[in-house]
Amino acid sequence: MAKSPSYAQQLKDIFRCPKCHGQEAIVRRVSLSTSPISGFIPLVTGKFYAVTCVLCGYTELYDECACEKQTQKSDEKLRATQEA
């Protein structure tokens, strides 16, 4: 049974920079958290995929939990198609 590519690989494969239109990206898993210095500024915490354009440095963040759920749904659809 074939498994769909990881979400990180999918992000890299379909990337197109909205700033410079570059098509090559670096994808990293990153964790963001609050610090005592943050004071009154609410910050998002969690694990994300950071997709960075290698030409200009433009970066987008994608929530890891949402990405993994999407990958699971894609795997289920693929499995159902192969069983039919």
Sequence spans of domains, the chain: 7-79
Q: In what order do the strands lie in the sheet with 46-53?
A: 25-32, 46-53, 59-63
Coil, strand or helix at 43: coil
Determine whether 7 is exposed, middle or buried from the number of CB atoms within 10 Å of its CB (0-12, 13-18, 19+).
buried
* pTM strictly above 0.75: no
What tens digit of pLDDT does each residue of 13-45 get?
999 999 999 999 999 998 877 666 655 555 557
Instruction: Look at residue 2 and tell me whether its pLDDT is greater than 50.
Output: no
CB 25 within 8 A of CB 15: yes
Confidence tier at 59 by pLDDT (50, 70, 90): very high
How far is Cα 70 from Cα 56, in angstroms, rounded to an integer? 28
